[in-house]
Amino acid sequence: MVLNTQQIMEMLPHRYPFLLVDSILEIEEGKRIVGAKNVTINEPFFQGHFPGHPIMPGVLIIEAMAQVGGVFAMMTDKVGTDKVTYFAGIDNARFRKPVVPGDVLRMELELVNCKRGLYCFKGKAFVGETLVAEADLKATFADR
């Protein structure tokens, strides 16, 4: 493990219940990053999505991938903690399989491009070896 939850919280402004990455498992500076989220029945979104049939909302899987991308930018490009991340675009989002309590969501993001502070990632989320979601993500940073 490269970073634990405490170290991630030193970089990202997100806190419970919206911190959606528990650990950073790998990082290749300037290329890619891998993060993980342990999905538990205690997640607050499971109360309403869906009672008796809990499924992690796809939009939160995308958000979890974006948070991993934010850690990448802060670690590799030294984006300061005085910045906040903004989504600039989400393209080609696909949800392949449901993510349920007990799953470990592994998010792999590959940096496709970074020009003028706009980060473009190809993101994939897995449970085990099964692809559960993917999307092309664009993000930028601004002063808090």
Span 36-48, pLDDT tens digits: 999 999 999 999 9
- The identity of residue 18, as a single letter, is F
Nearest to 122 by CA among 89, 144, 100, 96: 89
Active site residue 14: no
Peptide bond connecting 101 to the previous residue in cis, omega within 30 degrees of 0: no
Domain of residue 129 covers 5-143
| Signed CA dihedral, 74, 80, 84, 87: sign only | negative
pLDDT, tens digit, 9 for 90 and up, residues 39-86: 999 999 999 999 999 999 999 999 999 999 999 988 887 777 788 888
65 contacts 107 by C-beta, under 8 angstroms: yes
* Alpha-carbon distances of 117 from 32, 108, 113, rounded to whole Å: 17, 21, 10
**CATH (domain of 62):** 3.10.129.10
Q: Averaged over 107-116, what is the pLDDT?
A: 95
Is 4 within 8 Å of 12 (Cβ atoms)? no
pLDDT grade for 1, boundaries at 50, 70 and 90: confident
pLDDT one-digit tens code per residue, 7-31: 999 988 899 999 999 999 999 989 9
Residue 136 has pLDDT above 90, yes or no: yes
Q: For the residues 90-104, what does the mean pLDDT come to? A: 98
Catalytic, out of 14, 49, 83, 97: 49
* Number of folded domains that form the chain: 1
Q: How confident is the model at residue 32 (pLDDT cuts 50, 70, 90)?
A: very high
Indicate the pTM of the whole model: 0.94
The reported pLDDT for the residue numbered 80 is 73
What was the pLDDT predicted at 47? 94
